[in-house]
Amino acid sequence: MKKIIFAIISLVLLTGCYDREVIDAKEFNYSLPALTEISHTMLNPKIVRFTWVYPEDISEDFQTPVEVQIQVVENGIYKQIVNVDKGAVAKNVTINPDISYKFMFRLLGYLKEEVKETGKTDRVFSPNTTYEIETEE
């Protein structure tokens, strides 16, 4: 009985031992730069307006304009993704001033038809850029 339990535990542990990022990134030559020029303005205590500038070094292989996604993290807990209209350079987000927030910004781009490869994704995300808001308590 102990051997069976040991075998099952070993099987579970060994099947989870691989680096998914290496497999997913293998022979895929498309990437998006991180969104870095981000700023915010407090419109009132409950509404923050984010603005950004799109990087200039986005490959011509992507459909334009690319999208921006904002992941909202409240008190260390992932809460939602705010999708921004394509090409927009600003977005208002409602917050609770009693909670600490982190916002993760990333670009989302889709490859043009002529560069898509069979069996590979046409959707590419940039690395996340973390933006923290200090609220007054």
- The full set of domain ranges for the chain reads 31-133
Per-residue pLDDT, 13: 55
- List helix spans (H) across the chain: 2-15, 20-25
Q: What is the C-alpha separation between 84 and 51, in angstroms, rounded?
A: 11
Per-residue pLDDT, 27: 64
* Token output for 82: 């705010």
Q: What is the C-alpha separation between 8 and 1, in angstroms, rounded?
A: 11
Q: Which tens digits make up the pLDDT trace of 66-123?
A: 999 999 999 889 999 999 999 999 999 999 999 899 999 999 999 999 998 888 888 9
On the 0-12 / 13-18 / 19+ scale of CB atoms within 10 A, 31 is middle
The architecture of the domain spanning 31-133 is Sandwich (2.60)
Per-residue pLDDT, 121: 87
Per-residue pLDDT, 120: 86
